[in-house]
């Protein structure tokens, strides 16, 4: 029996137990890059069964985080997300209501407005009981934290792919010099704005955020509206990181006027913190460099294994070549992305 056949058998067993009736697991959706999404039929009812990576591979409790976030949003009547219908924490599955929609391939101005409205609803959840220590995954609460994340990713990438000559050449000759220059410029911008690059953002400047949020984790429903999915990394963070990631996400490139529209809307939304816009201006290039390294995750063996689990097709060598080319292009265009 192949690994995928074995996964189908287990998914059927889990889905049957959670639905409480005979089910048919008819298709594996591979939109996510780290988790599996199974489509489950029971008569005229359809569900989504989400399977999370093993905690041995990733110690973060993605399942509990997403379930808690979705249940919080349900209690607060946020309608544009799936509902949790059942969980199997031992095996790492959650049964969700089915969201009937298609991938968002082209982003319109109305989509940006809808995304900001959703973020506004999430921002309003701050007084609800979500413990202050439950940070979003890879939260960046200071400039120093962003730089440390980049340095850690760089070391991990080098260690995992030390025999990849073309990658190492790109890192040494292109990425590292760009990082050194950007880090110096960021510190200068923070100083000129009267902000401390090293100081951790206090709780009053943080927001609850659906980290890894963006149009890559959205579905367009038949009426044109958006539904939002994937809340495995939900928690407290500097909303600057959230907005930077939407602005820069390499999978859904926004046009310059759309980036301007988003930045203005975000500044209004998070404007209760008078330093929000200044931090966004200073940190955006650093977050862009962080994305360059994220694009190179395919070079890390355990990350590639997770992609395969989620249904990735094609050869590893092709994936690495494609992502290295993508990282080169992204680094070359970064100045345009952050200025517009």
| CATH code for the domain of 287 | 3.90.1200.10
Domain range holding 10? 3-98
Q: What angle do CA 146, 149, 150 make, to 5 degrees?
A: 90
Measure CA of the first residue to CA of the last residue in the chain; give whole Å: 52
Number of residues that make up the chain: 340
Q: Give Dmax over CA atoms of the chain in angstroms.
A: 64
Q: Are strands 207-209 and 226-228 parallel, antiparallel or unpaired?
A: unpaired
| Shared domain check, 281 and 164 | yes
Q: What is the pLDDT of residue 7?
A: 84
| Shared domain check, 120 and 186 | yes
| Shared domain check, 154 and 190 | yes
Domain stop point among 98, 133, 159: 98
| Shared domain check, 156 and 60 | no
CA distance 42 to 48: 11
Q: What is the DSSP string of 126-193?
A: TTSS--TT-BPTT---SHHHHHHHHHHHHHHHHHHTTT-HHHHHHIIIIIHHHHHHHHHHHHHHHHHT
| Shared domain check, 124 and 69 | no
* Element holding 210 (H helix, E strand): none
pTM for the full predicted model: 0.91
Domain stop point among 76, 98, 120: 98
Domain count, the chain: 2
Instruction: Tokens for 86, please give them.
Output: 């059942």
Q: What is the dihedral of CA 326, 332, 335, 340, to 10 degrees?
A: -50
Nearest to 53 by CA among 39, 71, 65: 65
| Shared domain check, 266 and 123 | yes
| Shared domain check, 94 and 119 | no
| Shared domain check, 312 and 222 | yes
Q: What is the mean pLDDT of each run of 10 residues along the chain (340 residues)?
A: 66 96 80 76 95 80 95 96 97 95 94 98 93 91 98 94 92 97 98 98 95 92 96 96 95 92 97 96 98 94 75 83 96 88
| CATH code for the domain of 73 | 3.30.200.20
| Shared domain check, 94 and 111 | no
Q: What angle do CA 38, 222, 87 make, to 5 degrees?
A: 30
| Shared domain check, 237 and 271 | yes
| Shared domain check, 122 and 10 | no
Q: What is the pLDDT of residue 2?
A: 45
| Shared domain check, 57 and 154 | no
Q: What is the pLDDT of residue 56?
A: 74
Domain stop point among 98, 129, 160: 98
Nearest to 221 by CA among 103, 100, 98: 100
Q: What angle do CA 77, 79, 82 make, to 5 degrees?
A: 115
């Amino acid at each position: 029996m192949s690994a995928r056949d074995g996964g189908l058998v287990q998914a059927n067993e889990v889905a049957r137990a959670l639905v409480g009736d005979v089910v048919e697991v008819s298709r594996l959706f591979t939109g996510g890059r780290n988790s599996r999404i199974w489509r489950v039929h029971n008569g005229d009812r359809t569900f989504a069964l989400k399977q999370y990576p093993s905690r041995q591979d990733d110690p973060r409790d993605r399942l509990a985080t997403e379930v808690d976030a979705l249940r919080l949003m349900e209690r607060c009547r946020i309608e544009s997300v799936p509902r949790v219908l059942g969980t199997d924490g031992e095996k790492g599955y959650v049964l969700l209501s089915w969201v009937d929609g298609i991938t968002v391939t082209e982003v319109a101005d109305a989509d940006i407005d809808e995304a900001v409205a959703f973020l506004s609803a999430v921002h309003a959840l701050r007084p609800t009981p979500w413990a202050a220590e439950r940070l979003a995954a890879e939260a960046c609460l200071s400039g120093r934290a962003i730089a440390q994340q980049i340095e850690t990713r760089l070391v991990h990438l080098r260690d995992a792919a030390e025999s990849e000559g073309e990658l190492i050449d790109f890192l040494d000759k292109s990425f590292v010099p760009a990082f050194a220059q950007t880090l110096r410029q960021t510190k200068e911008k923070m100083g000129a704005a009267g902000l401390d690059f090293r100081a951790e953002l206090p709780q009053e400047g943080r927001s609850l955020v659906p980290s890894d949020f963006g149009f890559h984790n959205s579905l367009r429903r038949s009426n044109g509206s958006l539904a939002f999915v994937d809340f495995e990394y939900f928690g407290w963070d500097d909303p600057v990181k959230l907005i930077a990631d939407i602005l820069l996400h390499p999978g859904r490139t926004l046009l310059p006027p759309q980036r301007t529209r988003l930045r203005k809307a975000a500044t209004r939304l998070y404007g209760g913190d008078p330093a929000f816009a200044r931090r966004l201006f200073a940190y955006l290039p650093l977050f862009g460099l962080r994305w360059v390294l994220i694009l190179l995750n395919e070079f890390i063996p355990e990350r590639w294994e997770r992609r395969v689990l989620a249904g990735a097709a094609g050869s590893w060598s092709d994936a690495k070549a494609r992502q290295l080319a993508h990282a080169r292009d992204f680094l070359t265009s970064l100045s345009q992305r952050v200025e517009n």
